[in-house]
Chain A
Amino acid sequence: MATSLVRKTKLLSMVSSQLNSAACFRNIHCTAACLKNRAARIRVAKGDKPVTYEQAYHPHHIGHRKGWLSQHTSNLQGEDGAAERVVEDVFIRRFMYGTFHGCLADEVVIKRRGNLLLICAVMIQKLLPSKFYFLIGYTEELLSHFYKCPVKIEMQTVEEKVVYKYL
């Protein structure tokens, strides 16, 4: 018994030493593949898929034909907190998507002015105005307490999703 154990450990050390040698250098890949030339692009299909302006233009058009969806100053020289802002933005987008489920007509725009967090959303007129106001009050209060800063929502409603073209 003892001898077989010793042999197994020897085998393991042989294998690991072989792995560390220059010849074989395959490491384990853990994350999903996120290709930068496939991000935020809707590919051209049969012609029956409605697509909004935001979705139709690809990321290299940002600054040229599109604006920014998130506006804050932490990407300027000497400012910090960019990573935290990104995480906050992701949370806020998911929160808005879930709270106003099925009502969002387009991406949420997040603006930061001093201490204030301004969430600008375009909604479809799917709910009654009183229900919209309930959700607005709820979101503002919850996010203010969560992020310890005043959060305001600016909402605009449209009757249907505004289609830019069909891809």
Chain B
Amino acid sequence: MASSCSQALRHHVCKSIFFLLLLLILFIFSEEIVIPKKKTWSKEAVLQALASTVKRDPTASDYRFQDDPYLTPKTSSEFKLFSLSQESGRNAAKYFINTYPKYFQKDYAQPHIPCLMPDTLEAQIEEVSEAALIERIGMRKVKAAVDLYDQLLQAGTSVSLDVTNQLLDLICFYGDHDPAQENVPEQRNEETEDVQDEPQAKKGRAAKASDLLKATWKEKNNAERIFALLSEPNKHSYSALIRGMVKYGAYSKAFSTYTDLLNSRLKADMHMFNALITAAPEVKEKYNEKWELIVDLLKQMAEQKVRPNLLTLNAVLKALRRCGTVGKSQAFPVISEMKALSIDLSLASYTHLLAIFYKPGAPIQGQTDILQEVMNEVSGKSFTPQDPDDAQFFITAMRICLDTKDMEQAYRVHELLGVGENWRLLGNDFQQNIYYARFFSLLCMMENIDVMLKWYRDLVPSVYYPSSNVMRDLLQALDTDNRLDLIPQIWKDIKQLGHANRQNLVEELLTLMAREKHNQEVQESFAECALDIKKIYDTGDRGKVLLNWTAGSLSDLISVLLAAHRRQDAWDMLKLFKTHNRVPSEELLNKFLMCVKEGGEVNQAVELVQISAGFCLPGTPKLIQRVQQEFELTEQKMLSDLEIQSFNSE
């Protein structure tokens, strides 16, 4: 009984222990097990992950070009030439495809790829109808559309307001000219002839190439005519007309059209207000008046309950750039108001902000913190293009860093370029060049040579082809940091970049090499470099002279050769003084004499004296004395010396 009792007790104890353990386990794992949601990856996820492991290859050229040494561009002009010739090849192919479209109609692709089909350039619908008008508007044929509209009106059919608005949009967007057709060269000639006459008559000055490209709003053009024909223009028509006027420079007309709109009690829309704000600084002269006009427009916008968007903000900031001190005081209030309306700033807004506070050429008055604040806001974010002026941000920021000599902010700007899609906002090749030129100049000025060379090797020539000015800055940086032994390498790069025919650059190079005495190896490399430079100076194979000798450059070259004990080469170079009509300096001849003394060539010493006498240098007597003292001359030579001496003293 006792045993059974104890057994029961043990059983109870076991059970309770078991129960306690269960409680304990439940207590520890008391949180619910949450099964995570299944992650779906996009189709390109693997490719993106792989792509993130590969960095830019600093030894490769741009992706456009073939990976072959013969086909890689080495200078910036070659870069442009090769990319343009590739584009012109593409245009030639497009011409053939569009001229003979019947050979390219067979469609293998599933799904259909519309961009690989030939373009239909000719209008299909021939009859005079509204559908034909819509088709021509869609194909962007301005003149044909206007002609068809006139035909429709003459025939008596009324065209609906929507279609007329579309036509007005087309005309105002293209400024009453047909957009340039790249594949049909003969059309373009006709157009340029037309445009050439107009600006000359209107402006009365010689039409430059930029005038031909930038069309102006002509008096009584088709847009105004068609607008006048409309019985009930709605706000879309007014909007198209005003935006076209502002785009093509008829600012005061735009404002008068706006007053017409207000008089006919129509409401304006956001695009119209944006255009008017852009036009505001053009119609008023004083800063205050400009600002008052803009404030007026913004108030009307609020009255008419039109919501501003990012382009409004950017237009206001751009106008403030031209408002001087008013701009500086009003910029931040404008930004805070816009932020209250939850409009996110784009890079263009920051560009205008920086331009308001940092005018080019103006002295910096302790406003360096604005750039820093802007960079704080902008760092780490990826921007998409929303405004055409976004592309100006990087070059403006780099200009400011260069002016304020701020290296830290420059690094941050450069880092921003690497974030996400921001590289698209650097602009075209020209703007890219400006950006990197400023970046490099700043680096040369501020950083020590090792950092500079690290950036140099990273960016040149895969991303940037430095201009000769930047190479001069680089040479000065080498000079400041006493790394003149790197000059021969830089000379090789200069030759490869095609700057070997710049007189200033080569002369500066020679001066830097000749200035001080270095150790033996360095002098040897300098001498090789000097001989290389000499080849550039010699006449090219077609008799074309690339560079002209000056006295300074000749002397520097000879000094470099002498320092490396290349007496024979130096002696040959001395003859060049006579052939190129340049006068050697006394120092050079003295140096030469010292070198000759080491060699012990008496004849050469005498010849040196003769040369000196030939140029009638004032230091000739001293030279003669030195020769007489330091060398053992035969009698013949002493006689000739005395002759020379007497000749000189006369």
A positions within 8 Å CB-CB of B: 125, 129-142, 144-149, 153-157
Contact = CB atoms under 8 A, between A and B. Distances in A.
Interface residues of B, number: 31
Nearest to B104: A145
Contact of B104 (A130, A134, A140, A146): A146
Given A137-B86, A145-B104, A149-B109, A132 B71 contact: yes
A144 B89 CA distance: 13
B498 interface: no
Interface string B75-110: 000100111011111101110110000011001110
Contacts of B67: 154
A131 B103 contact: no
Contacts of B94: 141
B116 A136 contact: no
Given A137-B85, A145-B104, 16 more contacts: A129-B71, A130-B85, A132-B71, A133-B85, A134-B86, A136-B86, A137-B93, A138-B89, A139-B93, A141-B90, A142-B93, A145-B117, A149-B108, A155-B71, A156-B66, A157-B70
Contact of B89 (A136, A147, A149, A156): A136
B97 A154 contact: no
B66 A138 contact: no
Contacts of A153: 66
24 contacts: A129-B73, A129-B82, A132-B71, A133-B65, A133-B71, A133-B83, A133-B86, A134-B85, A134-B92, A135-B89, A137-B92, A139-B93, A140-B93, A141-B94, A142-B93, A145-B93, A145-B104, A145-B118, A147-B108, A148-B108, A148-B113, A148-B116, A149-B108, A157-B68
A138 B94 CA distance: 8
8 cross-chain pairs, A with B, having the tightest CB-CB distances, nearest first: A137-B89, A141-B93, A138-B89, A137-B86, A148-B109, A134-B89, A130-B85, A142-B93
Contacts of A125: 70
Contact of B92 (A138, A147, A148, A149): A138
Contacts of B117: 145
A137 B81 CA distance: 13
Interface string B179-193: 000000000000000
Contacts of A145: 93, 97, 104, 116-118
Contact of A136 (B66, B81, B104, B113): B66
B70 A137 contact: no
A129 B70 contact: yes
Interface in B308-340: none
Nearest to A153: B66
Nearest to B66: A155
From A133, A138, A144, A149, residue with most partner B Cβ within 10 Å? A133
Nearest to A155: B66
Contact of B107 (A135, A139, A148): A148
Contacts of B83: 133
A137 B92 CA distance: 9
Contacts of B97: 141-142, 145
Interface string B34-77: 00000000000000000000000000000001111011010000
Contact of B66 (A141, A142, A148, A154): A154
Contact of B82 (A133, A141, A154): A133
Contact of B90 (A131, A140, A148): A140
A134 B83 CA distance: 9
A134 B88 contact: yes
Contact of B93 (A138, A149, A156): A138
Contacts of A138: 89-90, 92-93
B557 to A, nearest CB: 34
Nearest to A131: B85
B62 to A, nearest CB: 12
B246 to A, nearest CB: 38
B121 to A, nearest CB: 15
A146 B103 contact: yes
B90 A137 contact: yes
A115 to B, nearest CB: 8
A68 to B, nearest CB: 22
A128 B476 CA distance: 36
Contacts of A131: 85
Contacts of A156: 66, 68
B87 A137 contact: yes
B82 A130 contact: yes
Contacts of A155: 66, 68, 71
Contacts of B90: 137-138, 140-141
A10 B90 CA distance: 66
Contacts of B89: 133-139, 141
Nearest to A158: B70
B226 to A, nearest CB: 38
Contacts of B70: 125, 129, 157
A154 B65 CA distance: 10
Contacts of B65: 133
A159 to B, nearest CB: 9
Contacts of A136: 66, 86, 89
Nearest to B109: A148
Nearest to B96: A142
From A139, A145, A147, residue with most partner B Cβ within 10 Å? A145
A137 B103 CA distance: 19
B110 to A, nearest CB: 9
Contacts of B68: 155-157
A147 B97 CA distance: 12
A43 B107 CA distance: 43
Nearest to B81: A130
Contacts of B81: 130
A129 to B, nearest CB: 5
A129 B87 CA distance: 14
A125 to B, nearest CB: 5
A142 B113 CA distance: 15
Nearest to A141: B93
Nearest to A147: B108
B108 A137 contact: no
B85 A144 contact: no
B109 to A, nearest CB: 4
B373 to A, nearest CB: 45
Nearest to B94: A141
A25 B423 CA distance: 76
A41 to B, nearest CB: 31
B86 to A, nearest CB: 4
Contacts of B107: 148
A75 to B, nearest CB: 19
From A125, A141, A149, residue with most partner B Cβ within 10 Å? A141
A137 B90 CA distance: 5
Nearest to B98: A145
Nearest to A143: B93
Contacts of B82: 129-130, 133
A140 B103 CA distance: 16
A149 B94 CA distance: 15
Contacts of B116: 144-145, 148-149
Contacts of A130: 81-82, 85
A149 B92 CA distance: 19
B105 to A, nearest CB: 10
A131 B82 CA distance: 8
B476 to A, nearest CB: 34
B85 to A, nearest CB: 4
